[in-house]
């Protein structure tokens, strides 16, 4: 049996474990939250290095992307370098394939017409492939990177402005303690009423679920949410708020949509390769073989 372990800076309340199989290969997939404790995450990776087929980094990104530039988050690198034998992935190997293709999938298979649709992406540098796909589909996209990441009331209105801002801000932000720019641990359970006007203006809310949840209004009638890493309780909460459609970029496994970091770990384990040796074509081929695809759920 192959094992993929997601070590997350998120809340331990969201821990989950499932046994399943892909392409006839049995897998044990587990998520362990450290409640924002960076040292604990590093310890888990050190102790289980070589005992799992792949680690996923949850609740933190190793890389941020804008245009053709890649930025490394220092705290994530501290965790990743604890592993000497088992590969460590943050899902970025899939985000430019799986998440980019989700928009095309929704257009072709569910009749989504995105031309002129107002979209709020809570963080564009986290999912730059998806951001590009929205723009290519004709959507009117607002990027909340400065608003939700740094608390600055400056929504960005184009990919160009996102790229220009990232070139200036990302090198500094990536050196900050991650807890200053992203809700970790118990902060993931708290909700803020700030910046809700951006939600009201959008028909589609897309991006990282913890950012979405932290600022989400109590009522979200007829909204479409495109995200991942949701639990059964999250789905019920979205339904209660009036969300019309939930789309997760990763498939449902026993009531849970794991993050792209987990799915990338599964593909690496199947390929028997390290992430630096994988190509986009190999990821795409394995995605096709496994049948990994979006989950589309009509809630209201």
Q: How far apart are CA 206 and CA 131, in angstroms?
A: 9
Q: Domain 94-248's class?
A: alpha beta
Q: What is the pTM of this model?
A: 0.88
3-state secondary structure the chain: CEEEEEEECECHHHCEEEEEEECCEEEEEEEEECCCCHHHHHHHHHHHCCCCCEEEEECCCCEEEECCEEEECHHHHHHHCCCCCCCEECCHHHHHHHHHHHHHHHHHHHCCCCCCCEEEECCCCCCHHHHHHHHHCCCEEEECHHHHHHCCCCCECCHHHHHHHHHHHHHHHCCCCHHHCCCCEHHHHCCCCCCCHHHHHCCEEECCHHHHHHHCCCCCCCCEEEECCCCHHHHHHHHHCCCCEEEECCCEECCEECCHHHHHHHHHHHHCCCHHHCCHHHHHHHHHHHCCCCEEEECC
Angle between helices 128-136 and 100-110 (to 10 degrees): 40
3-state secondary structure 175-234: CCCHHHCCCCEHHHHCCCCCCCHHHHHCCEEECCHHHHHHHCCCCCCCCEEEECCCCHHH
52 close to 5: Cβ distance less than 8 angstroms: yes
Q: What is the pLDDT of residue 247?
A: 96
Q: What is the pLDDT of residue 186?
A: 64
Domain ranges of the chain: 2-91+258-293, 94-248
Cα dihedral sign, 154-159-163-166: positive
Q: What is the pLDDT of residue 256?
A: 75
Is beta strand 88-89 parallel, antiparallel or unpaired with respect to 245-248?
unpaired
Q: What is the pLDDT of residue 78?
A: 96
Q: What is the pLDDT of residue 281?
A: 87
Burial (0-12, 13-18, 19+ Cβ within 10 Å), 161: middle
Q: What is the pLDDT of residue 189?
A: 67
pLDDT in tens, the chain (300 residues): 999 999 999 888 888 899 999 999 999 999 999 999 999 999 999 999 999 999 999 888 898 877 778 889 999 999 999 999 999 999 887 877 788 889 999 999 999 999 999 999 999 988 888 999 999 999 999 999 999 988 899 999 999 999 999 989 988 888 888 887 777 766 666 777 778 999 999 999 999 898 899 899 999 999 999 998 888 999 999 999 999 999 998 877 777 777 889 999 999 999 999 998 998 889 889 988 988 888 999 999
Q: What is each CA distance from 147 to 31, 128, 142, 158, 197, in whole angstroms?
A: 29, 17, 11, 15, 12
Q: What is the pLDDT of residue 185?
A: 61
Q: What are phi and psi of 142, to 5 degrees?
A: -110, 130
Q: What is the pLDDT of residue 252?
A: 77
């Amino acid at each position: 049996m192959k094992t993929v372990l997601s070590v997350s800076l998120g809340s331990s309340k969201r821990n989950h474990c499932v046994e399943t199989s892909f392409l006839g290969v049995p897998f044990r997939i587990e998520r362990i939250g450290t409640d924002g404790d960076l040292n604990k995450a590093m310890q888990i990776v050190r102790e289980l290095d070589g005992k799992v087929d792949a680690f996923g980094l949850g609740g933190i990104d190793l890389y941020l992307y804008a245009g053709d530039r890649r930025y490394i988050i220092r705290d994530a690198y501290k965790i990743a370098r604890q592993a000497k034998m088992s590969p460590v992935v943050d899902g970025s190997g899939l985000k430019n394939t799986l998440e980019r293709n989700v928009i095309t999938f929704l257009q072709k298979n569910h009749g989504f017409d995105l031309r002129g649709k107002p979209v709020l992406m809570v963080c564009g540098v986290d999912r730059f492939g998806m951001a590009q796909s929205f723009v290519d589909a004709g959507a009117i996209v607002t990027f909340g990177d400065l608003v939700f990441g740094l608390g600055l009331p400056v929504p960005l209105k184009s990919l160009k402005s996102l790229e220009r801002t990232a070139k200036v801000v990302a090198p500094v932000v990536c050196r900050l303690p991650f807890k200053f720019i992203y809700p970790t641990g118990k902060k993931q359970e708290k909700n803020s009423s700030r910046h809700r006007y951006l939600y009201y203006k959008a028909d589609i809310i897309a991006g990282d679920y913890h950012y979405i949840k932290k600022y989400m209004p109590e009522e979200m009638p007829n909204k479409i949410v495109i995200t991942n890493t949701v639990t059964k309780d999250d789905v019920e909460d979205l339904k209660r708020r009036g969300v019309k459609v939930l789309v997760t970029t990763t498939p449902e496994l026993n009531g849970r949509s794991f993050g792209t970091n987990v799915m990338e770990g599964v593909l690496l384990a199947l390929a028997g390769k390290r992430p630096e040796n994988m190509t986009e074509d190999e990821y795409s081929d394995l995605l096709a073989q496994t049948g990994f695809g979006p989950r589309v759920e009509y809630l209201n």
